[in-house]
């Protein structure tokens, strides 16, 4: 969650809306083929695995097993670390 939050700051979380959308665009550029799923609140919007996991933990999503979410977060931690390092490098 902390790394995802840091990435949101890079994509201007304080600017009006769209930080997750901008972050997901960055993730897609840096990790082509990243897993995506439909956003349950916005049927025509797809979110990357990192955004989905963050939203499952940070929001009350129906039919979400938090133990499963946490286990999946561990599986994707390496990719999130790589993305965070890349974002830092691009902004240096």
What is the secondary structure of 53-71 as a DSSP string? HHHHHHS--TT--HHHHHH
Q: What is the mean pLDDT of residues 11-34?
A: 86
Measure the CA–CA gap between 24 and 3, rounded to whole angstroms.
14
What's the predicted TM-score (pTM) here?
0.89
pLDDT of amino acid 33: 96
Least Cα distance to 31 among 71, 69, 85 occurs for 85
User: In this structure, are residues 36 and 47 in contact, taking their beta carbons and an 8 Å threshold?
Assistant: yes
User: In this structure, are residues 47 and 80 in contact, taking their beta carbons and an 8 Å threshold?
Assistant: no
pLDDT of amino acid 14: 63
Q: How does pLDDT run across 51-88, given as a tens digit for each residue?
A: 999 999 988 888 899 999 999 999 999 999 999 999 99
Q: Residue 35 corresponds to which tokens in the numbers above?
A: 């897993």
Measure the CA–CA gap between 9 and 4, rounded to whole angstroms.
9
Q: Residue 47 corresponds to which tokens in the numbers above?
A: 């979110």
pLDDT of amino acid 86: 96
């Amino acid at each position: 969650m902390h790394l995802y939050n840091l990435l949101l700051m890079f994509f201007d979380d304080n600017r009006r809306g769209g930080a997750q959308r901008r972050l997901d665009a960055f993730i897609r550029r840096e990790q082509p083929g990243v897993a995506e799923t439909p956003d349950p609140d916005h049927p025509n919007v797809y979110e990357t695995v990192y955004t989905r996991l963050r939203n499952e933990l940070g929001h009350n999503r129906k039919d979400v097993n938090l133990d499963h979410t946490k286990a999946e977060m561990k599986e994707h931690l390496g990719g999130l670390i790589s993305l965070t390092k890349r974002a830092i490098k691009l902004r240096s």
